[in-house]
Amino acid sequence: MSLVFYDTETTGVEPFFDQILQFAAIRTDQNFKETDQFTIRCRLLPYVVPSPEAMNITGVKVSQLIDPSALSHYQMVRTIRSKLLSWSPALFIGWNSLDFDEDLLRQALYKTLHNPYLTNTQGNCRSDAMRIVQAASLFAPDALVFPDREDGQKTFKLDRVAPANGFQHADAHDALGDVRATIFLCRLLQEKAPELWSSFMRFSKKSGVVEYISDERVFCLCDFFYGKAYLHLVTTIGQNKEMKTGWYVYDLSVSPESLMTLSVLELEARLSQTPKPVRVLRANAAPMLFPAEDAPNICPGQELGLEELERRAMALQNDAALRERLVSSFEAAKIEHPQSLHVEKQLYDGFFTPADERLMETFHSAQWAERSAIVDRFEDQRLRTLGRRLIYSERPDLLDKTVCREYDLAVARRVLGQGDDIRWLTIPQALEQLGRMLENTPEVELTLLREHKQYLHNRNDQALAHLTAAPAIT
């Protein structure tokens, strides 16, 4: 299987509402020999406000954002999808990709009427290079140099880790440069921590994860949040019946006997307390798993010894009623969230029907003049909403003047921050962000920021003009 390393540069850090501006990917064999690469950029969507902080980091100029000769977002996504499908099946690897770039890519596919699950369907699988580097800091600490933050904690930012290990990261925050830095670190790990790399490759596949957690009675689950390690010695106690990729594991640092006599309400309350006895392991999200005997001393429960951990695991395996109570109580305690008002946040509200998926393909093969009628035929309201927005973004000239005017007003309200439950960056917020940056930036670095300030003021004026214009087309 080929490896595909990829990275994105974006308008900001909100994966549901920001957009990809640059996408880069390199395909290699399993020895990291490059077999293909590509990079692509696009212009800004009409309803997205770019973060001045993000633009300052990546050096993106206003002229690049609004260049009419640049590819549109839709054209870019079509090209990305075609290239990635031509490289499939493959293992897709990014840096912090499972918590960011993957969501941006899924949103880009979703918003352009494509199946969003490209990286984990059709024989593809996914993983995250940052996670293996984080795991290496505990399980193979001599394999890499791990730089510290000012507070003394380790940092796992790519632009710090790669140079600390010898990579010449002159083009940090360029997507292709970041891809090369990721490949560099993975190659180092394969050379210096081959067993760790082997585990990384094995658990990038759902089947590898399921086989391991089914065969191993006790194992170590490793995760990181905000750079801090969280380790758990666990045993598998069940599978989520609705989401087959979800498995329940029990933290063996908690004595199973302490839960046996609890009432239903007491058990539900206990499951929300630290240390949490039950956790969810997603088999399709490349979890970091290790033998129990390799768990470092900081792992809770390690002091119990392997014999006691095995005893606790066996007690659970032999008590089907307790396992069922644990799973049922865990599921009962889950908070049900109402459907979001925003179509972007509805991505995971259900899969598209086969009929709608066929219609999506019809949409892309049709002429633009025919696509509005195709959008009206979608069963799924999400696809109708996204399809109409897509036509407005790409070919507003094909819309009725009244409809186009309604979209102009909706975009104006969106970028100005008018409405309920505003989750995206607005122009007033961006100008406030920019004001703080201008106060703390040396004079020699102000040109880009001043350019973005003028651009934001111009967009603000245009949006206000739309709101104050005549309410109807005559």
Domain boundaries, the chain: 2-194, 205-332, 344-468
Question: Inter-axis angle of helices 381-394 and 401-416, to 10 degrees?
Answer: 100
User: Would you state the structure tokens that stand for residue 345, as one six-digit string?
Assistant: 């946040």
Residue 243 is predicted with a pLDDT of 87
In this structure, how many other beta carbons lie within 10 angstroms of the beta carbon of residue 69?
5
Q: Of the CATH numbers 1.10.10.10, 3.30.750.24, 3.30.1520.20, 3.40.640.10, which one belongs to the domain with range 205-332? A: 3.30.1520.20
Give the pLDDT confidence score for residue 89 in this predicted structure. Answer: 97
- Please tell me the predicted confidence (pLDDT) of residue 318: 96
Give the H/E segment covering residue 101.
helix 101-111
DSSP lists the bridge partners of residue 187 as none
Helix (H) / strand (E) containing 440: none
Burial class (CB in 10 A: 0-12, 13-18, 19+), 29: exposed
239/368 Cα distance (integer angstroms): 45
- The residues that bridge with 37 in the sheet, in sequence order, are 26
- What's the alpha-carbon Rg for the chain, to the nearest Å? 25
pLDDT at 473: 46
pLDDT at 244: 87
Contacts of residue 279, Cβ cutoff 8 Å, sequence gap at least 6: 221, 232, 234, 248, 249, 251
pLDDT digits (tens, 9 = 90+) for 15-67: 999 999 999 999 999 999 999 999 999 999 999 999 999 999 999 999 999 99
Q: Report the alpha-carbon distance of residue 43 to residue 131 in Å, rounded.
A: 31
pLDDT computed for residue 334 by the predictor: 80
> Which position has the token pair 């606790």?
312
d(CA 47, CA 53): 18
- Is there a contact between 408 and 393 (Cβ–Cβ < 8 Å)? no
Helix 194-202 / helix 175-192 crossing angle, nearest 10 deg? 120
Provide the pLDDT for residue 230. 92
Give me the residues of the chain with pLDDT under 70, please: 171-172, 470-474
Report phi then psi at 148, rounded to 5: -105, 150
Q: How many Cα neighbours within 13 Å face the side chain of 8?
A: 26
CATH topology of domain 2-194: Nucleotidyltransferase; domain 5 (3.30.420)
CB 143 within 8 A of CB 132: no
DSSP codes joined into one string, 232-269: EEEEEEEE-SSSTTEEEEEETTS-GGGTTT--HHHHHH
